[in-house]
Structure 1
Amino acid sequence: MNDPTNSMEPTEDPKEPATRNEAVYANPAEIFASCGKPYVTFRRRHDPTVVDYLTHLAPTPARVLDLGCGPGTLALDLAESGMRITAVDASQEMLNEGRTWAKRRGVSHAIEWRCADAATLGQVDRLGTFDGAVIADAFHWLDRPRVLRALDTVVRPGGFVAVVGYRAPQTQREWWHPLLVKLREKHLGAADLAGPSTPYIRPEVGHEAMVRASPFNRVSVLRADYRRVYTLDELVGLQRTFAYSSSATLGERQEAFEADVRSTLSVLQPNGLFAATLQAAVIVGRRPESR
């Protein structure tokens, strides 16, 4: 979907859900139910250019808040680069996977895990003050104005807020994306879902415009090309990491859906390799008085 929130891994963005104001979900922890283990297995880490850029936004060792952290896809990379991370997510399942992954990568000492809805950030006790905050491929799931106001209370003067996406707005989709959209429609209907039972809420305003309207309105943007090659097994597994095609969302339809994905793509790409050139985006906001 070529829209202002188009900032995900291949096939992550719903196609054209109904437009509303901001994402306010009654049960945010349910959105990625069943996605924890597949997320660690099939989601790719962020491009090194993005990680390197983020690690130079504040002096080391910076204390950084990661909102909507999932299992720590970005948090662990930042921890390995010397940052001290407080990782917040509404899903305990995601946090449990993150703790296991952090231990395996030897960075458990550098990450504190908190189970909380990002919208209630101001109510999380004793978070303290941060040198910056990152929101990686999660901003479109959040009540963005409320989150940015809350960050204004916990990010120190001179600190930053960075909205990170695997895909910059208006970049071209992979050739296989529309095929996967049609297969989802076949098995789930035309509506895009935020987990097993909730419609996806499409934000009306792009992420950059939202940051510019916040206290962090001195904005800079990084866009970086990178190339990814997926195997057929990876693309099939990747579908389990998305809120609209997770195991919890598909239920008893999962086996048939994945068989359709496998058979359709294997006919069109017999060598089983699916290459794409993508463009990541990092939107960094600071307060006007920052120097």
Structure 2
Amino acid sequence: MTSTPSYTPEELFASTAPYYAAFRPRYAPEFYALLADRFGLDGTQRALDLGAGPGIIALELAPLVGEVIAVDPEKGMLDEGRRLAAEHHITNITWREGDSTTLPAMNTGPVLLTVMGAAYHWMDRDQVARDLDRIIEPGGAIVLASGGAPGDLEPADWRHVVDEVRTRYLGPERRAGSGTYSHPTERHQDVLARSPFSHIDTAHWDHTLTRSVDEVIGLQFSYSYSSTVQLGDHKDAFERDLRQALSEFNPAGVFDEAVRTEAIIATRP
């Protein structure tokens, strides 16, 4: 039972925005503490969040710097970010529509840090590093935040339940837009090692995240490959079947998962 709805990329990512903001795991507080300590963040610096989505990083970084420029190509993500910023009375984030290809023409001005989450794997990574060399100030850095590389952590035992239901509805491949997604084979560290930012440090922090059935379901709708638009008319049936399968797997309704924050900090030698 696979679903192939018709949609535009804008509809796809706009549909994930509220779920992304509500259900994606946050990066560890230690990540932001590391940036503050290493780069002397004192509320005066400027930072760029490239591929910001709804501001998962920007909202946490904003209290540490003078301004965050949050750039994303999807208006729905930016609208969700603005809503969350207003809700938390954060006023020093500038939300701008754009992406890595429009960055050279955006006139962002100099920044100390450019932070990126999962968006970096979608980009022309070599070109982005060269473009950022013109923007990042001396002593600054490219900072990549992620959940680590595939296989770094043992998947939670309930993940196979989700995979089985998702495959039944959407097929075995993870669809990205109208195509499919595959993780880059070359590590980010190896790409950055040949860039102007070739001095690379990594750090990671692990913790256990506990989710309810509703939170596991909401998480699936935050992914482009299982968004409400991808599911189309089958969204309600998918949710019903996944809820039933999860409840049968663990009637207590508690789903633990080991979650990692990995930071890759690339500076000029």
TM (normalized to structure 1)? 0.84
CA distance in 2, matches of 1:231, 1:51: 27
- Counterpart of 2:251 (choices 266, 270, 274) is 270
Paired position in structure 2 for 1:177: 159
Q: Secondary structure at the match of 1:190?
A: coil
Q: Secondary structure at the match of 1:250?
A: helix
Give yes or no for the alignment of 1:105 onto 2:119: no
Which stretches in structure 2 are left out of the alignment for 5+ residues?
Answer: 1-7
Instruction: Tell me the alpha carbon deviations over residues 63-108 of structure 1, each in whole angstroms, 9 at most, x when there is no partner.
Output: 1100110110110001123452000001011001111110111112
Q: Secondary structure at the match of 2:185?
A: coil
Q: Which one-letter code corresponds to 1:267 in the other structure?
A: E
CA distance in 2, matches of 1:57, 1:154: 19
- Counterpart of 1:233 (choices 204, 214, 220) is 214
CA distance in 1, matches of 2:237, 2:9: 27
Give yes or no for the alignment of 1:69 onto 2:55: no
Q: Secondary structure at the match of 1:161?
A: strand
- Counterpart of 2:180 (choices 187, 199, 202) is 199
- Shift, 1:33, TM fit: 3.2
- Shift, 1:120, TM fit: 2.3
Instruction: Tell me the alpha carbon deviations over residues 225-266 of structure 1, each in whole angstroms, 9 at most, x when there is no partner.
Output: 112111111001111100100111111121121122111111
Is the Cα–Cα contact under 8 Å of residues 213 and 254 in structure 2 kept in the other structure?
yes
Paired position in structure 2 for 1:251: 232
Q: Which one-letter code corresponds to 1:65 in the other structure?
A: L
Give yes or no for the alignment of 1:43 onto 2:17: no
Number of equivalent positions: 259
Is the Cα–Cα contact under 8 Å of residues 153 and 258 in structure 2 kept in the other structure?
no
Compared with structure 1, are the counterparts of its residues 31 and 179 closer, same or farther at alpha carbon in structure 2 (3 Å cutoff)? same
CA distance in 2, matches of 1:192, 1:53: 34
Is the Cα–Cα contact under 8 Å of residues 202 and 262 in structure 2 kept in the other structure?
yes
CA distance in 2, matches of 1:206, 1:91: 26
Q: Which one-letter code corresponds to 1:92 in the other structure?
A: K
Q: Which one-letter code corresponds to 2:222 in the other structure?
A: T
Compared with structure 1, are the counterparts of its residues 31 and 129 closer, same or farther at alpha carbon in structure 2 (3 Å cutoff)? farther
State the 4+ residue runs in structure 1 displaced beyond 6 angstroms: none
CA distance in 1, matches of 2:32, 2:149: 16
Calculate the aligned-residue CA RMSD, in Å. Answer: 1.7
Q: Secondary structure at the match of 1:102?
A: helix
TM (normalized to structure 2)? 0.90
Which stretches in structure 1 are left out of the alignment for 5+ residues?
Answer: 1-26
Q: Which one-letter code corresponds to 2:256 in the other structure?
A: A
Give yes or no for the alignment of 1:137 onto 2:121: no
Comparing 178-187 with 237-246, greater Cα deviation is found at 178-187
Compared with structure 1, are the counterparts of its residues 83 and 194 closer, same or farther at alpha carbon in structure 2 (3 Å cutoff)? farther
Identity of aligned residues (%): 35
